[in-house]
Structure 1
């Protein structure tokens, strides 16, 4: 029995790792540019366009305001369209990614807002293009804040992935619900919680180390 449970825990942990990794990476690939766009088009930005910025901001805020457990259900038709199913680890990656994109975008926007405007103005006075300002001024200066924001996102995704288990999303959350809650095996529930805590601590510690390393360049 213990051998079977160990295999279940290993499989569930791998599923959680897969969900968090893919949704986090895809979310970053889409969320970081969106955050940069929000910053550039904000009032007083390099590409100032308040109306466009407000329109994007409304969409971002709307997605962020939806509780994840509800988002899981709302996007089921879209999930089926993308992966062909609404159940399982692959299916859970879709709502996780959708939740991550606006979250990352706002954190990136906040990090970019902390960059000294004098640096941007100096780059503009020397004839730098928008692309050069983004790649050579904004992103390098805001990188510690962006990495810290991504760390927060990955930690949040660990919790969201556990929540996805409520609708058969797989992973440690699904294991905890099926065995720990529905079958009243308290040891399984406790083990799932401990593993999630250790996992979150590992992600947060790595993120903090990376931020310190970037900040001391």
Structure 2
């Protein structure tokens, strides 16, 4: 029963994350436990856990006497988060280009080839999973546990945004091209090129998020939400 509840809570959290980031659920909306439980056909316990996940990722906050409210996600905030992530990934990439073992470099290239196939197939979910493994390998390849820990914490916070921008098949293919530049730099042990490629990769991801939000922002609230 516990495992089932965990699965439900993460499914609910992912669905709500996507709607918040897309602007379908606007800032200030109250995430009502009863309404969400009814929508997904589950009890309020996994909903409560899902809302805890959203608050942990700074997409919502608990406000006394009001409940859980969606926070304002401005373009400036998105810029700041991706800028921080870009600097961390660039640093990890620079170190990884010099410190990765042969087996780690081979695994990075294998993941890249797998992601190319997933992009061609339009498998967004599979690509997102492989993409997380690709970037995690870059963190670990720095062989600096403190840097890797900070980078991973930032990645968890940005995960909903990164998943959101990979919904478009064209973006998957552009991501593969950017990953090729990263892999080439790592294999060539070119620290400067690795650093530059990762910064550009994160800038590209941020731009995609902002563009998608502009296109999809209808300003409409979801029917399962109650006003704050």
Relative contact order (alpha carbons < 8 A, sep ≥ 6): 1 or 2 greater?
2
Answer yes or no: same fold by TM over 0.5. no
Larger helix percent:
1
Q: TM (normalized to structure 2)?
A: 0.28
Choose 1 or 2 for highest CA Rg.
1
Q: TM (normalized to structure 1)?
A: 0.29
